[in-house]
Amino acid sequence: MSSALRAAGHAVSGLDLRAPDESRGDLLDPSAVGQALEGCCGVVHLAAVSRVVDGERDPQTCREVNVGGTRVLLEAALSRPEAPWVIYASSREVYGQPARLPAGEASPRAPVNAYGRSKVEAEDLVSGSGLRSAILRFSNVYGSTDDHADRVVPAFARNAVLGRPLRVDGRDCTFDFTHVADTVRGILAVVRSLESGESLAPLHLLTGVPTTLGELAALAVELAGSRSPIVEAPSRSFDVHSFHGDPGRAAELLGWRAEVGLREGLARLIRDFRALSAPA
């Protein structure tokens, strides 16, 4: 995201718990957050415990980071002489299991896990802050080899390249997979909108196309030309069974639509993993 913002002409100040340089810092540290905000006109808030399974393993830390860290950021933003705008990266998990699909931004928020509950609380902090802001609800963003190794898309892509088994937890579970390039392009469109002085209602940045995990696994094996076996297991108790969203509001307000289809995006990721695994 930082490189895309710089390419668009923005100077960027980072704050990342794992950064190897001067941008290293903790979202829960008010002094570090305040320092990072110096001179900034806006904030793209992506920091989080970002995996459902991690939220289930340690719900206290999930809430401390996702809710408490967001509170620290908002308080620091409000203390600035000229308060910056804020983009908050939320998730489809705020809806839980929607009664009707595709889900729209006005669908009831009814999270079924600790991660989703933390995102609802943080959304409410942002919307109640009085800051010029936008809440963006992402859905299964993929496309980087640097992603968590056990997220479903990179796990399937990597294992297919290496000829390892693909474990499918709930073959009929259905999700809306969004390529990171489309997500970045959508965030940049929102930055332009906020810089023009607008606030935005919550927005989906997603494809609107449902894909089952069984279909995803089969596609990964096909695109990799792999002999990897597909091993089926029950779905996890804390996961949503089915989700896809309506991208219409982003199209109407921003002129944004997802452009990278799953076949193309997964093929790119498989090529990247293959390059990483090639002998030096």
Q: Read off the pLDDT of each residue in 124-153 and give the average, rounded to a whole number.
A: 95
Q: What is the pLDDT of residues 200-239, one digit of tens each?
A: 999 999 999 999 999 999 999 999 999 999 999 999 888 9
* Residues pairing with 205 in the sheet: 138
Q: How confident is the model at residue 277 (pLDDT cuts 50, 70, 90)?
A: confident
Identity of the residue numbered 271: R
Residue bearing the bigger pLDDT, 179 or 18: 179
Q: How confident is the model at residue 62 (pLDDT cuts 50, 70, 90)?
A: very high
Predicted local confidence at residue 205, as pLDDT: 98
Q: Which of 8-12, 119-123, 161-165 has the lowest mean pLDDT?
A: 8-12
Q: Read off the pLDDT of each residue in 118-136 and give the average, rounded to a whole number.
A: 97
Round to whole Å and give the CA distance between 36 and 29.
11
Q: What percent of the chain has pLDDT over 90?
A: 84
Topology at the third CATH level for domain 2-277: Rossmann fold (3.40.50)
Rg, C-alpha atoms of the chain = 19
The DSSP-derived string for 128-163 is: TS-S-EEEEEE-SEE--TTS-TTSHHHHHHHHHHHT
Round to whole Å and give the CA distance between 185 and 259.
10
pTM for the predicted model, two decimal places: 0.94
Whether 97 contacts 241, CB under 8 Å: yes
Per-domain boundaries in the chain: 2-277
Round to whole Å and give the CA distance between 129 and 106.
20
Predicted local confidence at residue 7, as pLDDT: 87
* Residues pairing with 106 in the sheet: none
Predicted local confidence at residue 280, as pLDDT: 63
Round to whole Å and give the CA distance between 240 and 152.
14
Whether 266 contacts 157, CB under 8 Å: yes
- Mean confidence (pLDDT) of the chain: 95
Whether 190 contacts 158, CB under 8 Å: no
Whether 95 contacts 110, CB under 8 Å: yes
Instruction: Using the structure block, give the residue that is written with the tokens 């989700």.
Output: 243
Whether 65 contacts 208, CB under 8 Å: no
Instruction: Using the structure block, give the residue that is written with the tokens 């931004």.
Output: 105
Q: What is the pLDDT of residues 78-111, one digit of tens each?
A: 999 999 999 999 999 999 999 999 999 999 999 9
Q: What is the pLDDT of residues 4-61, one digit of tens each?
A: 888 889 888 889 887 777 778 899 999 999 999 999 999 999 999 988 999 999 999 9
